């Protein structure tokens, strides 16, 4: 990567990787060493800039130590709580010739649950009347997901996923309880509050997951908390758990998959009610305007292959895919928990490169699309048939909601002037159509899925259809009544 400007652009990705627990290594160019600290052309202090964001950031000033620091970067990125590492390499270091020892390939450091931890876990579950499993984070493989399901089935445990981690558990499984995060189902929020034991696996239990620490209070939850996390520095940092287990999701789920049932009969009704509440929430009223997004999502559920990968960026438009699509297989959802705009299309490109035979669909709002829409050029260059669902409502929806809730009717700087998105996409050689009704969506989506080029379907949505639960008009009216 280039120097200061490139590193500045990459900072959003580093921050996203940190909050997503995603291992990443970023190499940044640097000016020659003899000119350092003079604010030369594109100079930037990489260690200072990224020091509080990455797991570690440093500059390599000795060519002979490049293998050492690169190996350390890999170990650090994947071990404990995964995350980003940033290395800066001055231009003259890249020109050096040096003798360096050939180091062995890196190995990830793994933590496993101790036998005493598993006994304590079993004892806490045995005393529970209303247990709940809450899973999130990164690093899960398909085996871990299967082991989690086996553990839940043996014990009739309801399983909820954290924000944008819905694919960690089959959403159609009778033990699935929904997702905790932005726009949480009130029934699930009540269930989390009423749980007497929460088994949290792989998740930090951040403010989004805990509804600003209201459904699971910090630092001392009223529930008995069993917190399983791969990084020891996170255990006890925010919450005081009843039991802290340092272990990755793969290691933990392998250890409990074969555990004998604890008290399955007692929890069967509790788990069944949790899934029934999740299913009930799909019965939403049609959205305002000509284009009914509830009907659009129903059509997508019918037409999408079960192994399709869905990516999203940030914005209220994403609530439709989170709430109404079913994630039944592992690795089918890519979305930033940090709410980073512009994520969806680059993520879709990466997913299509990794899974060339699978359907990849990116959801984007109009404001979100304008952050990285030019990456259609990359998709076209590599002949990647990603499908972009571009929800166009002419506003920055998330910010507009906050304005209407707090200052009803006082709107500022949230209207968007959009280009002709269909023409824009076609200029890149992509297939593109404008969709203005739910009836027209099915045929357009089938044509997009059949295309051999990138496709962009522009869904013209009434701005009043701001969330699946409430319109802007309703939000404004409620806020006005409350203020009055």
What are 198-216's pLDDT values in tens digits?
Answer: 999 999 999 999 999 999 9
338 lies in the same domain as 386: yes
In this predicted structure, the answer to whether residue 438 has a pLDDT above a threshold of 70 is: yes
328 lies in the same domain as 457: yes
In this predicted structure, the answer to whether residue 60 has a pLDDT above a threshold of 90 is: yes
- The pLDDT, as a whole number, for residue 100 is 87
Mean pLDDT of 34-63: 90
In-domain check, residue 173: yes
Per cent of the chain over pLDDT 70 is: 100
253 lies in the same domain as 204: yes
- Domain of residue 254 covers 115-280
In-domain check, residue 104: no
329 lies in the same domain as 378: yes
- Closest to 424 in 3D by CA, of 345, 352, 356, 370: 370
Mean pLDDT of 270-278: 97
321 lies in the same domain as 244: no
Among residues 63, 95, 127, the one where a domain terminates is 95
Mean pLDDT of 82-94: 94
Task: Report residue 453's pLDDT band, with 50, 70 and 90 as the boundaries.
Answer: very high
Predicted confidence (pLDDT) per residue in 300-337, tens digit: 999 999 999 999 999 999 999 999 999 999 999 999 99
Q: Which secondary structure element, helix H or strand E, spans residue 143, and what is its range?
A: helix 142-155
In-domain check, residue 195: yes
In-domain check, residue 123: yes
Among residues 280, 314, 332, the one where a domain terminates is 280
Task: Report residue 13's pLDDT band, with 50, 70 and 90 as the boundaries.
Answer: very high
In this predicted structure, the answer to whether residue 484 has a pLDDT above a threshold of 80 is: no
87 lies in the same domain as 133: no
- Closest to 118 in 3D by CA, of 263, 241, 248, 226: 226
166 lies in the same domain as 68: no
Task: Report residue 455's pLDDT band, with 50, 70 and 90 as the boundaries.
Answer: very high
- Kindly state the DSSP code that residue 64 receives in the 8-state scheme: G
CA atoms within 13 A on the CB side of 375: 22
In this predicted structure, the answer to whether residue 382 has a pLDDT above a threshold of 80 is: yes
Using CA atoms, how far residue 162 sits from 28, 191, 334, 337, 363, in Å, is 33, 14, 13, 9, 19
Please give the torsion angle defined by the CA atoms of residues 318, 320, 321 and 327, in that order, rounded to the nearest 10 degrees: 130
329 lies in the same domain as 447: yes
In this predicted structure, the answer to whether residue 63 has a pLDDT above a threshold of 90 is: yes
Predicted confidence (pLDDT) per residue in 392-412, tens digit: 999 999 999 999 999 999 999
In-domain check, residue 103: no
Check which CATH number belongs to the domain holding 204 and give it: 3.40.50.1220
299 lies in the same domain as 349: yes
In this predicted structure, the answer to whether residue 264 has a pLDDT above a threshold of 80 is: no
In this predicted structure, the answer to whether residue 42 has a pLDDT above a threshold of 90 is: no
Q: What is the DSSP secondary-structure string of 235-298?
A: TTTS---SEEEE--HHHHHHHHTTPPPSSHHHHHHHHHHHHHHHHHTT-PPPPSSSS-HHHHHH
Number of domains in the chain: 3
Q: Answer for the pair 240, 220: CB distance below 8 angstroms, yes or no.
A: yes
In-domain check, residue 91: yes
Predicted confidence (pLDDT) per residue in 98-155, tens digit: 988 889 998 888 999 999 999 999 999 999 999 999 999 999 999 999 999 999 999 9
Give the integer Cα–Cα distance in Å for 67 and 83: 20
- The pLDDT, as a whole number, for residue 4 is 85
Check which CATH number belongs to the domain holding 456 and give it: 3.40.50.970
| Average pLDDT, rounded, for the chain | 95
Mean pLDDT of 34-52: 87
Per cent of the chain over pLDDT 90 is: 88
Please give the torsion angle defined by the CA atoms of residues 113, 268, 171 and 221, in that order, rounded to the nearest 10 degrees: -50
In-domain check, residue 242: yes
């Amino acid at each position: 990567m280039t120097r200061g400007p490139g590193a500045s652009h990459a900072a959003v990705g580093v921050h996203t990787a940190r909050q997503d627990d995603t291992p990443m290594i970023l190499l940044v160019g640097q000016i020659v060493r003899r000119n350092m600290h003079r604010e030369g052309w594109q100079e930037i202090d990489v260690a200072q800039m990224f020091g509080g964001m990455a797991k570690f950031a440093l500059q390599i000033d000795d060519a002979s130590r490049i293998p050492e620091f690169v190996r350390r970067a890999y170990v650090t990125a994947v071990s404990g709580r995964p995350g980003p590492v940033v290395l800066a390499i001055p231009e003259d270091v890249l020109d050096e010739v040096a003798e360096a020892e050939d180091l062995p390939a890196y190995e990830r450091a793994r933590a496993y649950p101790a036998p005493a931890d598993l006994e304590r876990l079993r004892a806490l579950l045995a005393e529970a009347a209303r247990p709940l499993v809450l899973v999130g984070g990164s690093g899960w493989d398909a085996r871990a997901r299967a082991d989690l399901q086996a553990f839940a089935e043996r014990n009739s445990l309801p399983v909820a996923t954290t924000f944008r981690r819905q694919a960690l558990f089959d959403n159609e499984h009778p033990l699935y309880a929904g997702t905790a995060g932005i726009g949480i189902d009130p029934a699930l929020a009540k269930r989390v509050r009423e749980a007497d034991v929460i088994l949290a696996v792989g998740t930090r239990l951040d403010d989004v997951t805990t509804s600003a620490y209201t459904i699971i209070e910090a630092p001392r939850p009223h529930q008995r908390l069993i917190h399983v996390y791969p990084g020891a520095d996170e255990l006890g940092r925010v919450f005081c758990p009843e039991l802290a287990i340092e272990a990755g999701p793969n290691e933990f789920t392998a250890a409990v998959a074969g555990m004998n049932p604890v008290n399955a009969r007692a929890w069967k009704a509790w788990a069944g009610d949790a899934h029934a509440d999740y299913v009930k929430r799909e019965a939403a009223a049609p959205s305002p305007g000509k284009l009914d997004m509830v009907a659009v999502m129903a059509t997508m559920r019918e037409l999408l292959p079960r192994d399709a990968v869905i990516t999203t960026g940030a914005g209220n438009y994403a609530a439709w895919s989170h709430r109404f699509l079913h994630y039944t297989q592992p690795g089918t959802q890519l979305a930033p928990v940090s709410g980073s705009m512009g994520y969806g299309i680059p993520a879709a490109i990466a997913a299509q490169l990794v899974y060339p035979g699978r359907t990849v669909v990116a959801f984007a709002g109009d404001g979100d699309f304008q952050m990285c829409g030019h990456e259609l050029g990359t998709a076209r260059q590599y002949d990647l048939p990603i499908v972009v669902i571009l929800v166009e409502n002419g506003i920055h929806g998330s910010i507009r909601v906050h304005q209407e809730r707090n200052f009803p009717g006082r709107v500022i700087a949230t209207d968007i002037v959009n280009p002709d998105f269909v023409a824009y996409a076609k200029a890149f050689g992509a297939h593109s159509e404008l969709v203005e009704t739910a009836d027209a969506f099915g045929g357009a989506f089938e044509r997009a899925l059949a295309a051999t080029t990138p496709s962009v379907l522009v869904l013209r949505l009434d701005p009043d259809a701001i969330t699946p639960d409430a319109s802007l008009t309703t939000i404004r009216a409620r806020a006005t009544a409350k203020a009055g």
